[in-house]
Structure 1
Amino acid sequence: MKTLFFEVLNTLVRLTHFETEGARLIRDELNMRIPLEELANQFRKEWEDRYNVLMSKGVYRSLRQLARETMISLLRKYSLSLSPAELDYFGNALSSLVVETSELYPDVIDAINALSQMNVPMYILTNLDNDIAKKILLRNNLLRYFKGVVSSDLTKTGKPAVKIFQAALNRAGVSPNDALIVSGLVEDVIGAKFLDLKVVFVRRVDVQLPVKPFYEITTLSQLPEIINKINQ
């Protein structure tokens, strides 16, 4: 029986209007006279640039720290700066927005239900902070299906670093042979290769994959059938 490790983002949920709502919060709180769309685009760019640099270096940052660093580089563009307390406020506020703007993909409930009825052990393995991941799952009525959450803030390392995958295997008490990573993130496909972990890549967004995953699916409804096949 394979144990499944699910990513949250681009797999179970997508963030709807996160950049716009983040920009709105920043603009309103700081009284900035900038078109919302311009600020949202700049916010998205700074967020993605920071995340990609961290990922390429295998450096860990909590979501709140990522939000703080994004704020620093974003406001530098507008010749603004914040005190540490203000940065903490935005770190928390933007992290809460990740929860509030999360929306389940329409195929999730049926697939997770089916896997649960098959008694497939399921865990969450995510670069999100533990409390953020749990709040997203709670908000979408999914937490009860998972035996545990392995997150980058608890392991102090983020995907694609080997250490977070190793921590997940240790938590579940399984070997790489008995595990499957289910994710729509490129960093899972990259990181899992180091441990010969098999990845079921969920193509939620159009991205280039540097290595070929074990399986590629377009909807989670294909997953129970794949698991049945593997377990036979």
Structure 2
Amino acid sequence: MKTLFFEVLNTLIRLNNFEVEGARLIRDELNIRASLDDLARQFRKEWDDKYSVLISKGVYRSLRQLARETMISLLKKYSLSLSPTELDYFGNAISSLIVETSELYPDVVDAVDKLSQMGAPMYILTNLDNDIAKKILLRNNLLRYFKGVVSSDLTKVGKPAIKIFQAALNRAGIASSDALIVSGL
């Protein structure tokens, strides 16, 4: 039987109102006078632009660092800047929002449970930070199904860089011909 490697984001879970909750946090904490919808759109655009560039190149950047960089870009539009301590606060707070806004796709529990009953070895292979991926899986009662988590922060590269795939194969102790990747449903 093939070993299955699952991505978390946009495969097992989606983020429900992440940009709205991020915008609300920023607006409330910094007293920015902008509509929540406008700020949410700006936040989403900055986040997506930065995330897409990293992912397309397989470059590693922790989600906390991505959140800090998003904050810097977003706040420039309002002629604001933050201290390193404040940026760390927002990096942690926005990373927590990823966990809090995670929502399972409707068929995930049944599918993963059936695969588990069939004896399919399953791992997580993700561009998320290890602690965030595990918190999402714990929050949604899924961590128990997976033998391990291989993440970008552990390998210092992200998908599609070959190093993260090699790390996953090594962790599972298998050849590439015995692996299937489940990602981006």
State the TM-score bracket (shorter-chain normalisation).
over 0.9
Counterpart mapping for 1:104-119 below 5 A: 104-119=104-119
Q: TM-score, normalised by structure 1?
A: 0.79
Structure 2 residue identity aligned to 1:157 = V
Counterpart mapping for 1:147-226 below 5 A: 147-184=147-184, 202=185
CA distance in 1, matches of 2:70, 2:152: 18
CA distance in 2, matches of 1:105, 1:25: 25
Are the counterparts in 1 of residues 67 and 95 from structure 2 also a CA contact under 8 Å? yes
Q: Which runs of 5+ in 1 are unaligned?
A: 185-201, 203-232
Number of corresponding residues: 185
Tell me by how many angstroms 1:151 deviates. Answer: 0.5
CA distance in 2, matches of 1:181, 1:57: 19
CA distance in 1, matches of 2:8, 2:57: 22
User: Partner of 1:39 in structure 2?
Assistant: 39
CA-atom RMSD, angstroms? 0.7
Q: TM-score, normalised by structure 2?
A: 0.98
Higher relative contact order (CA 8 A, sep 6+): 2
User: Partner of 1:23 in structure 2?
Assistant: 23
Are the counterparts in 1 of residues 57 and 161 from structure 2 also a CA contact under 8 Å? no
CA distance in 2, matches of 1:5, 1:61: 21
SS of equivalent to 2:123: strand
User: Partner of 2:2 in structure 1?
Assistant: 2
Structure 2 residue identity aligned to 1:84 = P
Counterpart mapping for 1:45-64 below 5 A: 45-64=45-64
Tell me by how many angstroms 1:54 deviates. Answer: 1.7
SS of equivalent to 2:157: coil
Tell me by how many angstroms 1:77 deviates. Answer: 1.1
Residues 146-182 of structure 1 show CA distances to partners (whole Å, capped at 9, x for unaligned) of 0000010111111111111111011101111000000
Given the alignment of the two structures, is residue 74 of structure 1 paired with residue 74 of structure 2, yes or no? yes
Q: Which runs of 5+ in 2 are unaligned?
A: none
Question: Following TM superposition, where does structure 1 have runs of at least 4 consecutive aligned residues deviating by more than 2 angstroms?
Answer: 55-58
Structure 1 residue identity aligned to 2:91 = G
CA distance in 2, matches of 1:143, 1:51: 25
SS of equivalent to 2:82: coil
CA distance in 1, matches of 2:55, 2:7: 15
Are the counterparts in 1 of residues 57 and 160 from structure 2 also a CA contact under 8 Å? no
Taking only the aligned residue pairs, the percentage that are identical comes to: 83
